[in-house]
């Protein structure tokens, strides 16, 4: 006898987000700031999971979650983006739909309020995957639904102070004749990975990049396969020292280990984040989920802002490893 709708198991949906990994020391994170950060993470979870629970797509869910984080000054993306060496903001983002392998990305954009929405428009309304700088801005000119703002709209006092400290440190290193120490300058970034009722996975990542970056530097966040990846089985969004995520194709490597190596998602993510990246001199973390709704969030730094809603509906947010 054919089972009716009441006999079939409920569709499983899941969502995991991050607000960046990095040098986050417990004794330096004010309790009020931590509460505010967790509240923003919860708002992002609410935005994405509401769509999933209503039967919406994973693609819509990751965009919605990331857009909430882009609007928060507490994360290094859009409104809270870091300053480059010229005292301006250059924003990067990417998004990918796993079952179709469609992807869109933008780099070094300056006046688009939501870089992740622009990345999705590149995916859906252009024949390309990545647009950069002036070209991406001209593409945005043709889409009325992409809100534009002056570059100083992204300013925050905290990020300006970070720029000043980074430049002071850079001058001191130059005077001392020692190599530049980039630790602590490249963290931030926001991202989301979702599984929808159709079993489809999508991933998205958005960032302001590295404090005091020069020469149009672009990290891993807009690079498909490095900072963002989704396929039919697996989705990943990364955060960390972008050069090492690019060199090791981190997001794709994790999903390839699942697809071709027979590893579990946990085994694959741990191998890449806890062994491969540190062995090459980098650090950071990832969020990932698979088609069964398994969620993993490994990081090799002191902390990573993150939040999740599992298929059973349980949810949470965390900053430090001890509070998982």
Report phi then psi at 94, rounded to 5. -150, 160
Write the CA distances from 126 to 46, 122, 142, 227, 264, integer angstroms: 30, 5, 11, 21, 35
Check: CB of residue 209 under 8 Å from CB of residue 219. Answer: yes
For 124-148, b where at least 16 C-beta lie within 10 A, e where not — what string? Answer: eeeeebbbbeeebbebbeeeeebee
Helix, strand, coil percentages in the chain from 3-state DSSP, rounded to 5:
40, 25, 40
d(CA 299, CA 287): 9
Q: E-assigned strands of 117-172?
A: 130-132
Rounded to the nearest 10°, the torsion over CA 262, 244, 194, 268 is 20
Question: Does residue 189 carry a catalytic annotation?
Answer: yes
**Of the listed 189, 205, 211, 239, which one is catalytic?**
189
User: Strand, helix or coil at 108?
Assistant: strand
Residues 6+ apart with CB under 8 A from 253: 268, 272, 276
Give the tokens for residue 216. 């149009």
Q: Do the Cβ atoms of 238 and 275 come closer than 8 Å?
A: no
Catalytic residues: 189
């Amino acid at each position: 006898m054919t089972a009716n709708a009441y006999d079939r198991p409920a569709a499983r949906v899941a969502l995991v987000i991050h607000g960046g990994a990095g040098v986050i020391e417990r004794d330096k994170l004010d309790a009020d700031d931590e509460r505010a950060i967790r509240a923003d993470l919860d708002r992002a979870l609410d935005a994405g999971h509401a769509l999933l629970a209503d039967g919406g797509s994973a693609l819509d869910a990751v965009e919605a979650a990331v857009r909430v984080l882009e609007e928060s000054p507490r994360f290094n993306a859009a409104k809270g983006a870091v300053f480059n060496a010229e005292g301006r903001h250059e924003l990067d983002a990417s998004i990918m739909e796993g079952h179709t392998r469609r992807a869109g990305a933008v780099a070094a954009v300056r006046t688009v309020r939501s870089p992740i929405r622009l990345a999705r428009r590149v995916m859906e309304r252009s024949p390309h995957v990545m647009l950069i700088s002036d070209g991406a801005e001209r593409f945005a000119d043709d889409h009325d639904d992409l809100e534009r703002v002056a570059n100083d709209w992204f300013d925050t006092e905290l990020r300006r102070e970070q720029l000043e400290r980074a430049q002071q440190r850079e001058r001191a290193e130059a005077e001392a004749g020692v190599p530049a120490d980039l630790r602590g300058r490249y963290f931030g970034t926001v991202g989301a990975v979702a599984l929808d009722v159709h079993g489809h996975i999508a991933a998205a990542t958005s960032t302001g990049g590295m404090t005091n970056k020069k020469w149009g530097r672009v990290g891993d966040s807009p690079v498909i396969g490095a900072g963002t990846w989704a396929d039919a089985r697996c989705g990943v969004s990364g955060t960390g020292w972008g050069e090492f995520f690019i060199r090791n194709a981190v997001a794709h490597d994790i999903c390839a280990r699942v697809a071709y190596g027979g590893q579990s998602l946990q085994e694959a993510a741990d191998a890449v984040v806890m062994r491969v990246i540190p062995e090459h001199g980098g650090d950071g973390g990832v969020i990932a989920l698979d088609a069964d709704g398994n969620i993993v969030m490994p990081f090799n730094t002191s902390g990573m802002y993150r939040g999740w809603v599992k298929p059973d509906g349980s949810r949470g947010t965390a900053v430090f490893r001890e509070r998982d």
